[in-house]
Amino acid sequence: MKKVFFKTFGCRTNIYDTQVMMENLTDFEVTEDEKSAEIIVVNSCTVTNGADTGVRSYINHATKEGKKVIVAGCGAISKGESLFSQKKVFGVMGHSEKGQINTLLKQETPFYQIGDLTSLDETIVHEYTGKTKAFIKIQEGCNFRCSYCIIPYVRGNARSQDEAKIIEQVQKLALNGYGEFVLTGTNIGSYGKDKGSSLGKLVQRLGAIRGVRRIRLGSIEPVQIDDSFREILSEPWLERHLHVALQHTSERMLELMRRRNNVKRDLELFQELSERGFALGTDFITGHPGESEEIWHEAYTTLEQFPLTHLHAFTYSKRDGTPSSTMKPEVKGDVAKERLKSIEALVESKNITFRQKNNAIPLNVLVEEHKDDHYIGYDQFFNKVIIQSERDLLKEWVTIEKYEIKQEANYAHF
């Protein structure tokens, strides 16, 4: 059988999508050895122009190595036509075609199957190659239209996966030994809006499944934390870390970004969640067009008030075809980078303070990796824990009661 290597770029949703494609390959052998593969499927990301450049560079390299390259993922929608017409790739397959990958890869002639942006995956994923935790895609698409974001145009409008199918998937993975489940999607907080349900109701049902030890959520929007979500905040299986996307802390910038959140309400929400013991992460963009010195100073001063512990921040990257790409005035790249560094340092300091404040709480760690004679995992607050042990702890759950707090991680002997 011909060997296929999957190269995955981008987000957790792409990790799930890659697994769906793997599960649908019956006449090929999936390999983790890139050099031995005859076919390479590139599950691409297109969130920024830079992401497109990275994907194109990899495709060029793989083609020079004599590989048959198939591009899938978001980049297939945004750049697939040009890649195909320039004969940079052998085939292009859209999101809706993942279930047909076996048939497509058997084709002897080049193919362009872009499909549609209305479908949902039918495949039930039973395992994750090389992963200690399971990713569950609960929905697809987004109804928000933030001015800087291309994703709704390459993933489609929000649509929720059938609840019974999600439950079946979690049950099967739990039987296969997975204890931690990461719920992912384009905009998971919108789950259920099209089905008379909600994210909170779904998670409550998943938490009741035997074998589920921890549920971790992808990014949610402040406006999506409703009463049904608040009802699950005390559940023991819910990770004590939430990632709530702010993107900015200036009201003027939120207007320019066409965001649906409000700084005053955001701060009240974060304070409420912090008081309930949660570590809190967020997304933030520096250097978006219109971010003047005055606006930046206001935003930074406001951000200091937020009880944050984690940060997923970027300098603004122009994405062709979005409203932000034509906005003025632009912010110089070096200025955006300095602003990024300043908020990274701020949140890093807040993270250490959080860990010191909670150092009497035992850490529940899923060990994910063995590297340089250490075991590495993440606790219930999504903080890295590095463990020395004579035992083989890989893929094990351990409770750490004594540990040393350092800047980059918590250290322990077990």
Instruction: Find the mean pLDDT for residues 324-332.
Output: 96
- What is the arithmetic mean of pLDDT over 300-306? 98
pLDDT at 48 over 90: no
- pLDDT for 320: 85
Give the closest residue to 36 by CA, choosing from 44, 28, 24, 27.
28
In the chain, the domains with their CATH numbers are 3-113 (3.40.50.12160), 134-357 (3.80.30.20), 363-413 (no CATH)
Whole-number Cα distances in Å, 321 to 21, 148, 149, 377: 29, 9, 9, 40
On the question of pLDDT at 124 being above 80, the answer is: no
CA dist., res. 149 & res. 186, Å (int):
12
C-alpha 392: how far from chain center: 29
Our CA dihedral for 130, 134, 138, 141, rounded to 10 degrees, sits at -30
Q: What is the pLDDT of residue 332?
A: 97
| Structure-block tokens of residue 48 | 């920024």
How many angstroms separate the CA atoms of 36 and 32, rounded?
A: 9
The candidate with the shortest Cα–Cα distance to 136, out of 245, 201, 211, 216, is 216
The count of residues in the chain is 414
Q: Is 310 helix (H, G, I), strand (E, B) or coil?
A: strand
Task: Please tell me whether residue 404 adopts helix, strand or coil conformation.
Answer: strand
Burial class, 133, CB count within 10 angstroms (exposed 0-12 / middle 13-18 / buried 19+): middle
What proportion of the chain, given as a percentage, has pLDDT over 70?
A: 100
What is the reported pLDDT for 49?
81
